[in-house]
Amino acid sequence: MAEKKLLGEILVEQKLVLPEQLQTVLELQKKTTPYQTIGRLIVKQGFMKECDLQSVLERTGKRQNLAEIFFRYRYVEKDDLLLAIDMARQEQLPLGTVLKNLEFIDDEIMAKTVALQYDLPFMHINTVKSSPVLVNIINPGYARKHKIAPIAKTSETLSLAMAQPLGTLEIKDLEALIRLKIQPVIAMEREILALQDRLYSNGAADGKSSRPEVEITLDDSFINSLDDGKYEPDVEADVKQVTEKDSNLVKLVNKIIYDAYMKKASDIHIEPYPDREDVVVRFRIDGCCEDYLHIPHKYKFALPSRIKIMADLDIAEKRKPQDGKINFKKFGPLDVELRVATMPTAGGLEDVVIRILHTGEPTPFEALGLSDRNQQAFGDAITNPYGMILVVGPTGSGKTTTLHSAIAKINRPKLKIWTAEDPVEITQRGLRQVQVNPKIGFTFANALRSFLRLDPDIIMVGEMRDEETASIAVEASLTGHLVLSTLHTNTAPDTITRLLEMGLDPFSFSDALLLILAQRLARKLCEHCMEKYTPDDRELTGLIDEYGGDDLLAASGYNRECITLARAVGCSYCTDSGYLGRLGIHELLVCTDELRELIKKKVDTVKIRKQAVADGMVTLKQDGILKVLQGLTDIHEIRRVCIK
C-alpha cells in the first residue's frame, strides 16, 4: 500500500507553497512551544491564505481526528476516552457531546480541541469590548444563528470568533458580504454569546446597524403581514404605489435574492397567476427548479414592478418582453450582478426570471471532473501554439467554467490573452476581458476581428453564434493563434456537422480543429446521506448493457463482480433531495488524421461518431455511467441529462 503523504508534501506538490517555504516552517515548528501544526505556521508566515488551507484540509481529509487530539494532548485518559467512544457509537451522538455529558472535559477543553482539529487559533474573548465599528459589520440575526462574533477589525481584515468553524464556502460568501478578509478564531460558545449580548444589546436594538437587513424570516406571519386585507388594486394603482419606500416589498425582494444567492441558485423564477392565486417563486438549484415561496395574490403586479424599478426598466410597459441588469450592491448586502428578463403572460401579468451571475475565480483544472484520458488530451491541446478548441453543450452546462479553468492552467505573463464574453462572469488577473454589446453593434464577430489587430497569443470567444464568427475564429487559429470557444450542440460529433452546415470551409476547419469537448452537469449524490448497495443482477445487467457490454466495461477497469453503487436518501444537508452539488460528465473528441479526412469529405454525423469512438472517445452516457460506478451519482441523473 502506498504511504500516505504529509500535508506539507501535498502543498508543495500542488504548488501552493514553495519547497523553501516548507523548509522554513519545518525549522520553525521545532522551536515553537507549545507545538503548532504545519498548516497554522504556514498561514502565520503569510505563505498561504486561511481559506485555501481549510479547503485543502477538507479535500485531502487531513484534518486530525477528535479522539486522537483528546488522547495526544492528554485532555482525556485512555480508559475514559474508550468508554466515551463506545457510548458515542451506541447513542449516535458526537464524541465531544458525550465527553461533556460525562464531565470528562469542560467547554474550554472542547473549544481548544476544535481549534486543533481545524488548525485554527483558540482565544478567550471575555475581555473584548463593544464597539460601534464591530456592531455594524455583521447583522445580529446572522451572528446569533451561526454563533459567531466579530472581535477585531482592520482596513482589510476581520477577526471572527466562532464556536464551530464555518464552511469554506460560507466564509467566502461572508467575505463577499462584508468586503473584508476573515481571520477565523475558535472561542468558547458561552463567551461568544456574552460578546453578542454586549455588541448588539444597544446597536441592534435601536436599529442603527449599518448592515442591510436580510435576516427577515419569510414565515406565515410575515406573509400574512403582506396580505393586509385591502382590496386587490388594479394595474395602474399598483404601479403608482410601488416605490422603494415600500419597506415590506423591499425586504421581500432583497430576501428572495439573498436566499437564492446563499443557496447557490442559478435563477429565480417569479410566476404570477390570474385571479386570486398566489404568486409562486421558484429557484433553479443544481439544474432543477424548486418551490421557494408563495406570496399573496395582491402582489402579483407589485413584485414584478419592484424588480423592474431595480433594473431601470419601463414599469408602464407590460405588453412586450424587456431585459436589463441589476447591480444588487445598490439595494442589498451582496456585491453581485443580476440579469433580469420579463415576459408578458396571460391575464395582463408578467413573469420575471432573474439570472444570478456568480462571479469569481476559475475552478482548478484538476477539479473539473475530467477522466484521466480526457484530462491528458485536453491538457496537451491547450499547450498548442495555435488551433481551435471547442466546448459544447446546452445553456448552463458549465462551458464557460471549463474554458476559464483551461485558460487559468496556461495563463502566464509571457502570453497575451484576450476574451470576448457576454457577460464577463469569471475574472482572472492577466486576461484582457471584453464584454460584447450586440445592442450597439459590438458583437462576438466584431470583437474577434478587433482582437487580431491587438497582437494576441490566445483568444477566447464566448460563443460561436453565426457563420461570420466561426469563419473568423478558424482564420485566427490558422494564423498562429490558439482559439477557444463554445457552441450550443448536443454532442461532440454533432458539432462538426453543425459548423459545416453553417458554411465553414471543410479544409480550413479540419486543419484548425484540435478537439471538441461536449459536457453536461449532473447532480451529485449527497455525501452525508447517500447509501451504498450491491445491485441485483437485473439492475447490473441493464447498466452494463447501457454502457456497451461487459468487454467494454472491463476495458475501463471495472469487473461485474466488484461493482458497488450508491443511491439518494435525503437529509437536512440536501433538503431531503438526496443530491448536493453537481459534477461534469464529458465526451472528448480529438481531431485525428483519420477524422480530418472525414471532415474534408463532409460525411454525416454517424460516420464521424464511429471514427471518434474508434479513436478512443468515451461518450457522454458512458462517462456518466463510469461516474455512477464511482458512487458519485446515480443512473437516473445520467439518463435525465443524456439523450443517448
What local confidence, expressed as pLDDT, does residue 165 receive? 85
For residue 612, name the pLDDT band (cuts at 50, 70, 90). very high
Query: Would you say residue 219 has pLDDT above 60?
Result: no
CA distance 631 to 626: 9
What local confidence, expressed as pLDDT, does residue 136 receive? 76
Half-sphere exposure of residue 225: CA atoms within 13 angstroms, side-chain side: 12
Please list, in sequence order, all residues whose beta carbon lies within 8 angstroms of the beta carbon of residue 623, skipping any fewer than 6 positions away: 371, 374, 585, 586, 587
Average pLDDT over residues 185-208: 74
Place of cell 440579469: 339
CA distance 46 to 511: 48
Looking only at Cα atoms, what is the longest distance across the chain? 80
Helices (H) and strands (E) in the chain, counts: 28, 18
pLDDT in tens, 68-100: 778 777 888 888 888 888 888 887 777 878 887
The model's pTM is 0.65
Please list, in sequence order, all residues whose beta carbon lies within 8 angstroms of the beta carbon of residue 492, skipping any fewer than 6 positions away: 392, 516, 517, 518, 587, 588, 589, 612, 617
For residue 236, name the pLDDT band (cuts at 50, 70, 90). very low
**Mean pLDDT, all residues of the chain:** 83
What local confidence, expressed as pLDDT, does residue 206 receive? 41
What local confidence, expressed as pLDDT, does residue 204 receive? 42
CA distance 251 to 256: 9
Long-range contacts of 92-96 (CB under 8 A, 24+ apart): 95/66, 95/67, 95/70, 96/66
CB atoms inside a 10 Å sphere around CB 291: 10
pLDDT in tens, 614-638: 999 999 999 999 999 988 999 988 9
pLDDT in tens, 397-434: 889 889 999 998 898 889 999 999 887 878 888 899 99
39-53, 300-314, 508-522: lowest mean pLDDT where? Answer: 39-53
For residue 1, name the pLDDT band (cuts at 50, 70, 90). very low
Query: Would you say residue 588 has pLDDT above 90?
Result: yes
Please list, in sequence order, all residues whose beta carbon lies within 8 angstroms of the beta carbon of residue 474, skipping any fewer than 6 positions away: 388, 504, 505, 508, 509, 512
What local confidence, expressed as pLDDT, does residue 62 receive? 65
CA distance 300 to 96: 50
CB–CB of 115/122 below 8 Å?
yes
CA distance 595 to 617: 12
pLDDT in tens, 517-568: 999 999 999 888 888 888 888 888 888 888 888 888 888 888 888 888 998 8
For residue 384, name the pLDDT band (cuts at 50, 70, 90). very high
What local confidence, expressed as pLDDT, does residue 207 receive? 40
Joined together, the cell numbers standing for residue 57 give 484540509
For residue 242, name the pLDDT band (cuts at 50, 70, 90). very low
CB–CB of 496/358 below 8 Å?
no
CA distance 309 to 321: 15
